Structure 1
Amino acid sequence: MTRWLFLLIFLFTVGAAILYAYVGGFKTPTVTIVTTPAPVFLAGQAFYGSANDEKFGPLFRSVKEAKDQGQLRGELANIYYNDPEKARDTVRAFVGLVVADTVSQQLPPGYQYRTFAAGQRVVRARTTASYLVAPNKLYPAITDAANQQKLKLRHIYLEKFPEQGESEVLAVVE
């Protein structure tokens, strides 16, 4: 019996490792320090509250539904105005889509525009890993790069999760 249990655990572990590799869990993000060349416009909804709030999860789904139903065109993105890793009790965020400009689309009811300004110095981390594992790869890479370069994070983050291409997080530094 012990041998079968060991074999079952081994097969489960191998399967989990293969799945993790498939979604890009073993990929190392590329990190650079850049100045944002142009503003990034987002159309979405603001959120302030607990990350465990019952309204936070559905907010992401409603933005994706607006995209899927053709109400908005763009790539899924979020702006966090505090450190999402450390803000266990309160999250200040803007959940939406990166859009080309603020005039070519009519916003659905309850949506508004936000801008991630041009000319900001940021630590940019990118990976081709799935959005399911990307944040757990990108944020530690940003923190490590900021510490190595002796940069102070301002705790303003822009996350972009396109359907095709690299996921990225831009973290504003002083």
Structure 2
Amino acid sequence: MTRWIFIGSLLIAFGFAAVYTYLGGFRTADVTLETTTQPIFLAGRYFAGRVNSDGFGPLFRQAQQLQQTGQLRGDLANIYYNDPAGAEDSIRAFVGLVVADTTSQLLPTGYRYRTFSSGQRVAHARIQASYMVAPDKLYSGVKAFAEKQKLTLAHVYLERFGAADRAEVLAVVK
């Protein structure tokens, strides 16, 4: 009986490892220091409050639904105005989609535009992984890069999830 429990445990562990690998969990983020060359436009909604509040999660689902139905064209994205990994109870974020410009699409009710300005020095982290594992990899990559390069982060982050599981974070550097 103990042997079957051990074999079952191994199979379950192997299954979790296979799924984690498939999602890109063993990949590392590629991080470079860059200056943004053009503004990045986002259409979305602003949120300030507790991370675990009832209002925060639905913003992501609404943006994804608008993307899937074709009401808005673009990549899912967020701008965080404080460190999302370090925010224990409150967050300030703009949640929505990166759009090509501010004139070619009609905004849904309650949506506004925000701009991630050009000319900013950023630590740019990229990874090809699912949105379920990418944020941890991206933020830890940015923080390790900043520490190694002796850079100070301004705690403004643009998080973007594109097609084919391409994810990136642009972290503003002081």
Q: Aligning the two structures, in what range does the TM-score lie when normalised by the shorter sequence?
A: over 0.9
Other-structure match for 2:164: 164
Other-structure match for 1:72: 72
Q: Which runs of 4+ in 1 moved over 4 A?
A: none
Other-structure match for 2:22: 22
Deviation at 1:70, TM superposition (A): 1.7
CA–CA separation in structure 1 for the residues paired with 2:79 and 2:164: 20
Letter paired with 1:91: I
Deviation at 1:41, TM superposition (A): 0.1
TM-score by length of 1: 0.98
CA–CA separation in structure 1 for the residues paired with 2:90 and 2:23: 29
Distance 1:64 1:164, change over 3 A: same
Deviation at 1:165, TM superposition (A): 5.5
CA–CA separation in structure 2 for the residues paired with 1:21 and 1:71: 33
Other-structure match for 1:128: 128
Deviation at 1:164, TM superposition (A): 2.5
Other-structure match for 2:152: 152
CA–CA separation in structure 1 for the residues paired with 2:47 and 2:165: 27
Deviation at 1:122, TM superposition (A): 0.3
CA–CA separation in structure 1 for the residues paired with 2:160 and 2:71: 19
CA–CA separation in structure 2 for the residues paired with 1:168 and 1:68: 20
Asked if the contact 2:116–2:158 (Cα under 8 Å) also holds between the matched residues in 1, the reply is yes
Letter paired with 1:111: Y
CA–CA separation in structure 2 for the residues paired with 1:21 and 1:87: 28
Letter paired with 1:67: Q
- Residue by residue over 1:46-104, the C-alpha shift from the partner in whole angstroms, topping out at 9 and shown as x without a partner, is 11011100111111001111112221111100000000011111100000100011111
Question: What is the number of residues matched between the two proteins?
Answer: 174
Deviation at 1:12, TM superposition (A): 0.4
CA–CA separation in structure 1 for the residues paired with 2:165 and 2:84: 23
Aligned Cα root-mean-square deviation (Å): 0.8
